Amino acid sequence: MGLSLPTRSGLPESGQTAEASRPLSLTILGATGSIGASTLSLVAADPAAFDIVALTANDNAEDLAAHAIKYRAQLAVVANPERYRELKAALAGTGIEAAAGEAAIIDAANRPADCVMAAIMGAAGLRASLSALRRGARLALANKECLVCAGDVFMREVERCEGQLLPVDSEHSAIFQALEGQDRAGLERVTVTASGGPFRTWSKDEIEAATLDDALNHPNWSMGRKITIDSATMMNKGLELIEARFLFDLAPEQLDVVVHPQSIIHSMVSYTDGSVIAQLGMPDMRTPIAYALSWPRRMKSDVARLDLAQLRELTFEAPDEAKFPALRLAREAMTTGGGAPAVLNAANEIAVGRFLEGRMRFADIARTVETTLDRASAEGLTGAADDLDAVLAIDHAARDLACHVIG
């Protein structure tokens, strides 16, 4: 595409521009989810600008087929092989290929497309996302668990190969934008903003008794169920610190969190001369998604425009790690490094899954993660993980350990 490559520091090389004339060929991994829907809504707003190559889903074959037909995809892949017949039948006569299984999702990521939107939830997206990066695609990364579990592996690949890694997470898109064109040597700190989630003003005892409906009731963002629970525990912010650490090559001490309940400032970068550069916008994922797709240019999006006079106030407060222990655990795992973030993530995925099934209390999510991390450390599971297979082995072992901890 002739686009420049963001360096490990997140700063693009200068002086190169995108071809303006050709549609962007795009694959969406996780097309039936919240990020998938926001991405497809940008495509629907300007269909001539995109050429959809492949769409994938976990097991919702019906929605996947409908999207594949509407957006004229070449290929639709469902991860669950039991849903293959349904997908095949729904696509009969359309000329759209159907496939199923994890290997077929990786094949979809490997099929030539300028850009791959990585919007699978959890560590399940690791292999396909890395494959897309390796073959030289632009990887628009929403699937933050990739960098949490395998940050070194992904960033090494960015340096080694032709692929690009562009952040989709709103905070990381903000940091990326606040770093562009700046003197990296003058960077002092990065402050990641957090909404505080639905329990920001709740007491520790009230949080202890929180129900699933309480936890799913996010004040600002409409997202998939797993990340919504991560926002309620504030594990999401912890995962984002780890994501930022790898994406922008920062030391753990350079990263702060500030709670900003309005979610208007998406994050900020402080420089040695006292300047702070922030990125603002309404809380709508279509803005960071648009930037990851069109960078270094800007595309049009009909998101609501920011009206500060109407909003009147932006407020800030320090995060409370006693009320939200998941944030502390993530910070500790970031500092420990090695396999610790992958263990943290695996235990969290298991615990959040149980909570979503109504089989765990809210406050036990962080307790499960903490105990799993302690045991994993005692068993030597948090050592270095040099390649994806080693990361996935830690992920699997930590999942088993977390299930054992839960009992």
243 binds Mg ion (CB under 5 A): no
Interacting residue with ligand NAD among 76, 116, 130, 142 (CB under 6 A): 142
151 binds, among Mg ion, ligand NAD, none (CB under 5 to 8 A by kind): none
Pair 154, 130: CB distance under 8 Å: yes
Distances (CA, A) of 392 to 72, 116, 124, 125, 350: 34, 22, 10, 11, 15
Residues 193-232 that bind ligand NAD (CB under 6 A): 221, 223-224, 226-227
169 binds ligand NAD (CB under 6 A): yes
Single out the segment in contact with Mg ion by CB under 5 A; choices: 170-178, 249-257, 284-292, 369-377. 170-178
Closest Cα to residue 134, out of 109, 151, 152? 109
Residues 269-298 that bind ligand NAD (CB under 6 A): 285
Min. distance of Cβ 329 from ligand NAD in angstroms? Answer: 17
Residue closer to Mg ion, measured from CB, 170 or 279: 170
Min. distance of Cβ 56 from Mg ion in angstroms? Answer: 22
Residue closer to ligand NAD, measured from CB, 137 or 239: 239
Residues 49-108 that bind ligand NAD (CB under 6 A): 57-58, 60, 79, 105
Spatial neighbors of 317 by CB under 8 A, at least 6 apart, are: 196, 258, 259, 261
Interacting residue with Mg ion among 86, 169, 230, 349 (CB under 5 A): 169
132 binds ligand NAD (CB under 6 A): no
How many other C-beta atoms are found inside a 10 Å radius of the C-beta of residue 340? 25
Residues 9-48 that bind ligand NAD (CB under 6 A): 30-36
Burial of 311 (0-12, 13-18, 19+ CB in 10 A): exposed
Residue closer to ligand NAD, measured from CB, 170 or 270: 170
Angle at 63 between CA 228 and CA 356, to 5 degrees: 30
230 binds Mg ion (CB under 5 A): no
Interacting residue with ligand NAD among 75, 76, 96, 119 (CB under 6 A): 119
Min. distance of Cβ 15 from ligand NAD in angstroms? Answer: 30
143 binds ligand NAD (CB under 6 A): yes
Min. distance of Cβ 96 from ligand NAD in angstroms? Answer: 17
Q: Interface residues with ligand NAD (CB under 6 A)?
A: 30-36, 57-58, 60, 79, 105, 119-121, 124, 142-145, 169, 221, 223-224, 226-227, 285
